[in-house]
Amino acid sequence: MKKVVNSLVSLSGKTTKAFLISTAFASFAFAGATLDGNKNFSKLKNFKPNPKVTSQQCLSCHKAQDPGIAKDWAHSKHAQKGVGCVECHVVPKDYPTAFKAHPFKGANWTVQAAVSSVTCAKCHSKEVEEFLNSGHSRGGAQWLKENENPHGKAMTKLAFGYEGMKGGEGIEKEFTVNKGNSQVDVTVANTCVQCHGTTIKLDSMGKPLATTWPNDGIASLYPDGGVGNCLSCHSRHKFSAEEARQPASCSNCHLGPDHPDKEVFESSVHGHIFDTNEKDYDFSTGKQIPGKTLRGPTCFTCHMGSINGLNSTHNVSVRLKWNLWAPKSFERNGKNETAGWAWWNNMKVLRGNPKAGNIQGADAARSEMKQVCSSCHDAAFTKNYFSRVDADVKLYNQYRDMATKMYKELKDKGLIKKDVWSDPFFKLMYYAWHHDGRRMRHGAAMGSPDFAHWHGVFQVMQDIREMKDIYDYRMRMLKKLKDPKKVLETEPPMPVVTHE
Ligand code: HEC
Ligand code: HEC
Ligand code: HEC
Ligand code: HEC
Ligand code: HEC
Ligand code: HEC
Ligand code: HEC
Ligand code: HEC
């Protein structure tokens, strides 16, 4: 318990050394990672289904059964180019995701219901490799309960324990209603994993289980070694690039109190231009030509797009200098993500590399991002802008250090409650990082004054002062009462600001 809580609040302090070690080791282990490291990939690539099996046969049942799927596919580039149901769903009979009970099958083949990126990689190896190198690919791996490291455990506790899903140690009785309920994973399947991804599990006939499927999270882990949901941005069965280029395709995950990128974008000047001049944007092409296909950038322009000489990429981390989601921001040290590659290669999946970014380092990442801006803005404008972003990140880090110092002292003296989520100091510290502090940093980095200030630093400022009040009170009372338990028991309700 103690370990779990510590790791949840001190990711940037205590764990940094572990990050560095695992990063160095992992990049060595995966330096030459290729898609062929997964034997299922070669198996699928070399598999030739019986040429008499056609997508028209599939449609003979599925057109009536699933008219929406049939139409979406009919309207896709895939249909135009002759990529049909068979190319994605027909697999060898002994393939890890084979749905053995499907009514239509042959001697050496059947249908898969769980189609992973191993299938896509047959024809789109570039996109799959870039995705595996990106921070997106650790979305499902880094915190699942299979992941036996302190950070994974802390996140799992949050999902499975504290939210009343399964109950657990250190949690008040009234929040353990589901303890011992074997169906409880189904409830968890509605929460974190729908954005992050999960480990897809099948029954003995190859039919996916309700606890894990359907799931559109960004980095689900499939039985055949596939990682990622290409569906997250290219919804099935249209699989459209035009759809994925629009900010709405990021917005079902990148929103809300803890990473409001949708809202940040909408309240930036770029969002204002987009909302008022939609006809100035042409999403049917990836070519980002100012004045022709766009007037201002959208999410994919800055994070993935080919603009001003930059290549289009499925690695959303290459243009990032800082790590803004961390409790204390640090510079990304280059190197690629490793968690997705580990799963792909059938190796033990650890937390991955939170420092993944541009393999040439943080400055190269920043130069690439500036190269995006300089297709529309002048050099001095861009330089000044980013000097303010960096100052803001450093200011946040300073607040974080103050909070960590107080927390450590309280903890050492037994002045943090066992059920941390009923401890106002712990809650404030969490909000100051996870909600208010992220909003402050994302707001500053992407040009939203409202999020940088009112939803951001203004709230962080209040959090810190309230934490200080609680800290002072507990230290004072400890002197008087001598017993930390008594201090906590007699503590009056403490103010906690709203974190909308
Ligand atoms: C004879 C009718 C028939 C034909 C032909 C047929 N299917 Fe099916 N398919 C079904 C039925 C019925 C189910 C539901 C089976 C079940 O749930 O046990 C199903 C289930 C599926 C599923 C899983 C859907 C889910 O939500 O569980 C996929 C994927 C699928 N079929 C794809 C195909 C493909 C690809 C082809 C062509 C190679 C094909 N089917 C041909 C009748 C058919
Ligand atoms: C480009 C690859 C691709 C093609 C082509 C394709 N599918 Fe799929 N299909 C997928 C993926 C990916 C999934 C989702 C798998 C998952 O969530 O694990 C899926 C899921 C499904 C499902 C279950 C999902 C649901 O909403 O019920 C059915 C049924 C299905 N496909 C039928 C078909 C049929 C019929 C065709 C031909 C008209 C077809 N697919 C063509 C990739 C494809
Ligand atoms: C058998 C080969 C094959 C497989 C398997 C395949 N694709 Fe494709 N895909 C194609 C071809 C061919 C095109 C059209 C390319 C073009 O027009 O330049 C395409 C185009 C695309 C596009 C761009 C569509 C657009 O609007 O321009 C996306 C996105 C895509 N595929 C995603 C996927 C995903 C996701 C999977 C796995 C679920 C997948 N594909 C599986 C062959 C394949
Ligand atoms: C609405 C979608 C969504 C839900 C639900 C969600 N997350 Fe996230 N999470 C995200 C996004 C988006 C990011 C990336 C934020 C960034 O890059 O600044 C993220 C980042 C994280 C990170 C930091 C990244 C890392 O590699 O460590 C952790 C840990 C995390 N989430 C855990 C959880 C847990 C645990 C839950 C459930 C209790 C959860 N998330 C629920 C979307 C979501
Ligand atoms: C299905 C949910 C989902 C969608 C859709 C999605 N993301 Fe993410 N994104 C996540 C999650 C979850 C993370 C955190 C992964 C982690 O660090 O574990 C994340 C992380 C990121 C990061 C930070 C990566 C890093 O290295 O820390 C960037 C940048 C990003 N996403 C951009 C985008 C963009 C741009 C789009 C749309 C084109 C998009 N995302 C669509 C869920 C999503
Ligand atoms: C974070 C959102 C996101 C995810 C996840 C994603 N894509 Fe894409 N994809 C895009 C965007 C945006 C584009 C358009 C890029 C451009 O035009 O520069 C695109 C374009 C494509 C294209 C067309 C490329 C071309 O040159 O025309 C293919 C093929 C493709 N994606 C396949 C995949 C595959 C396979 C996966 C899973 C590994 C995947 N995508 C996952 C956002 C995403
Ligand atoms: C004008 C360009 C631009 C646009 C448009 C934009 N971003 Fe960003 N984004 C940035 C910059 C710059 C950073 C900070 C980069 C750094 O660390 O130096 C950033 C950071 C992020 C992060 C934080 C990653 C981390 O380290 O935790 C996420 C997530 C993200 N953006 C997602 C999105 C999404 C989703 C959209 C659209 C709704 C979007 N961005 C629109 C430029 C942009
Ligand atoms: C495709 C063109 C385009 C790209 C790329 C672009 N912008 Fe902009 N940006 C605009 C336009 C147009 C405006 C509105 C006109 C203006 O105010 O200059 C604007 C406005 C702004 C503003 C608000 C105006 C002000 O004076 O404060 C900021 C800040 C800004 N952009 C920063 C950036 C940054 C940082 C990047 C790169 C990460 C970037 N922009 C990339 C077109 C672009």
Q: Whose CA is nearest to atom 14 of ligand 2?
A: 115
55 lines ligand 2 (CB under 6 A): yes
The closest-lying atom of ligand 3 relative to the alpha carbon of residue 88 is 5
Please tell me the distance between residue 196's alpha carbon and the centre of ligand 4 in angstroms.
Answer: 7
Closest-lying ligand 1 atom to the alpha carbon of residue 88: 35
Q: What is the pLDDT averaged over residues 101-124?
A: 96
Q: Is the pLDDT of residue 498 over 90?
A: no
* Residue listed under structure tokens 């004072």: 476
Q: Which atom of ligand 8 is nearest to the CA of 385?
A: 35
**Which is nearest to 340 in space by CA: 21, 19, 30, 24?**
30
Which residues have C-beta within 8 Å of that of residue 164, sequence separation ≥ 6?
Answer: 175, 176, 177, 178
**What is the pLDDT, as a whole number, of residue 1?**
32
CA of 206 to the centre of ligand 2 (A): 15
Which whole number is the average pLDDT over 89-114?
96
Q: pLDDT tier at 245 (50, 70, 90 boundaries)?
A: very high
* Residue 340 alpha carbon to ligand 7 centre in Å: 22
Name the average pLDDT for the chain: 89
Could you give the CA distance from residue 387 to residue 407 in angstroms, rounded to a whole number? 31
Q: What is the pLDDT of residues 377-436, one digit of tens each?
A: 999 999 999 999 999 999 999 999 999 999 999 999 999 998 888 899 999 999 999 999
Q: Closest Cα to residue 11, out of 462, 433, 392, 464?
A: 433
- 56 Cβ inside 6 Å of ligand 1: no
**Contact residues for 314 (Cβ-Cβ < 8 A; gap 6+):** 126, 127, 128, 130, 131, 134, 304
pLDDT digits (tens, 9 = 90+) for 44-59: 999 998 889 999 999 9
